[in-house]
Structure 1
Amino acid sequence: MMRILGRNNSVNVIKVLWCATELGLEFERADIGGAFGGNDEPEYLLKNPMGRVPTIEVDGHIMWESQAIVRYLAARHGIGSLMPEDLAERAKSDLWMDWYTAHLHTSMTTIFWGLVRTPEAKRDNDAINDAKIEAGKMWSVLDKHLAGRNFVGGKTLTMGDIPAGAAAFRYYTLVDDRPNMPHLDRWYASLGERTPYKTHAMNPLS
């Protein structure tokens, strides 16, 4: 059985948990990182030299980097569903995974750490507000893309939805003054109707 090493309040672990559950995979999870520690222990660093989460162990293989794991699981278990069969359509889903990392992750991290993991007296409110503005611009890009599409890749959920989708709950929870984004709102609402998403992504932030 696959083992997922990582605390379930990490956005990167959430991606893998959500993906695995969408695919109907059985797995066990161990709390590593954050308040649980263990990610700086020699045994863990032999598996993941970056000391980050998640790491997975499956069929004698060890893998880390959340989006690489999502791609692996989708390729192995989700051809025709999370990973489109058509190579061009697959690339279109894939590019939105990279888009999240390159264009949205930094501002969302600033918002999350500033509002959730930093005491109010120590917050850099200017940085948080700047990040909210930047995140709004990037979410607006996705909003325009979603016009006429149910999901990032088209009619059905694909791996392309997972990185931004994992971050969307944080955005909608932490940012009230969002731009008008009807297509993004519809997409986020549709994610919230999925049991795997509700189970792994829509939990109290910590």
Structure 2
Amino acid sequence: MLKILGKASSINVRKVLWTCAEIDLAFELNEFGSGTPNAIDTPEFLALNPNGMVPVIQNDEGTLWESNTICRYLATRYQRVDLLPQNAMLRAQVEKWMDWQATELNNAWRYAFMATVRHSAAHQNSDAIAHSVREWNRHMAILDQRLQTTQAFVGGEQFSLADIVLGLSLNRWRSAPIAHATLPALDAYFERLSLRPGFLKYGANGIA
């Protein structure tokens, strides 16, 4: 059985959990991280992931870390071409948005999220917060424009891995106590995602 190491409240762990739900894949979740009995700074855990971060998965094929990579691996192993197409261009369109989430979007929201949700003492510069909020809204507007075009999902007409990683990002944006831009396509997209049991369990579950 697939073993997942990580906190169920972690946004990156929830990507993997939601992917498993879409695949209907059984797993065993072992809680690792702050606030759990299992630490991520031990030599044993660092031997699995030298970055000391979750999620990590283990199965009969080996050990893997990096959430988006894990989602790609699971879709590929279980031949879920609906989630990650075989066609080179269609696959690249999905992966493009997954990579955008992990780089551009994450960098935009990080400071504001740490300040307003995590209440980090190291992230309380008012100018930096305001800049991060503006950038967060600007990037969400890019996603809104994409969804205005597709009128469905991020990759196009069909739900894909891109919607898992960006659906969780959308939930984080909506949940954060910041000034939100008015983006109707994102509201409609959230309603479409809310029809999926995996999103209700692991995405829009009251956790940012």
TM > 0.5 fold call: yes
Measure, in 2, the Cα distance between the counterparts of 1:167 and 1:84. Answer: 22
Aligned CA-pair RMSD: 2.0
Amino acid at match of 1:43: E
1:68 matched to 2:77? The reply is no
Query: What are the residue-to-residue correspondences of 1:15-30 with 2, within 5 Å?
Result: 15-30=15-30
Residue 78 to residue 196, structure 1, CA distance change in 2 (3 Å):
farther
Contact 1:108 1:167 in 2 (8 A): no
Q: Give 1:175 deviation, angstroms.
A: 4.5
Q: Give 1:176 deviation, angstroms.
A: 5.1
Query: What are the residue-to-residue correspondences of 1:1-12 with 2, within 5 Å?
Result: 1-12=1-12
Query: Which structure would you say has the larger RCO, counting Cα contacts within 8 Å and 6 or more residues apart?
Result: 1
Measure, in 1, the Cα distance between the counterparts of 2:101 and 2:16. Answer: 15
Measure, in 1, the Cα distance between the counterparts of 2:40 and 2:162. Answer: 28
Query: What are the residue-to-residue correspondences of 1:1-206 with 2, within 5 Å?
Result: 1-36=1-36, 37-118=38-119, 123-149=124-150, 150-175=152-177, 177-205=179-207
Contact 1:23 1:78 in 2 (8 A): no
Name the SS for the 1:25 alignment partner. coil
Amino acid at match of 1:66: S
Corresponding residue pairs, total = 206
Q: Give 1:135 deviation, angstroms.
A: 0.8
Measure, in 1, the Cα distance between the counterparts of 2:6 and 2:163. Answer: 21
TM-score by length of 1: 0.92
Measure, in 2, the Cα distance between the counterparts of 1:163 and 1:127. Answer: 25
Q: Deviations over 1:79-111 (max 9, x none)?
A: 321011322111101100111122100222223
Amino acid at match of 1:153: G
What fraction of aligned residue pairs are identical, expressed as a percent? Answer: 34
- Unmatched segments (≥5 aa) in structure 1: none
Contact 1:136 1:178 in 2 (8 A): yes
Q: Deviations over 1:156-198 (max 9, x none)?
A: 2101122221111110011453222221221122112211011
Residue 29 to residue 104, structure 1, CA distance change in 2 (3 Å):
same
Name the SS for the 2:148 alignment partner. coil
Amino acid at match of 1:23: I
Amino acid at match of 2:180: R
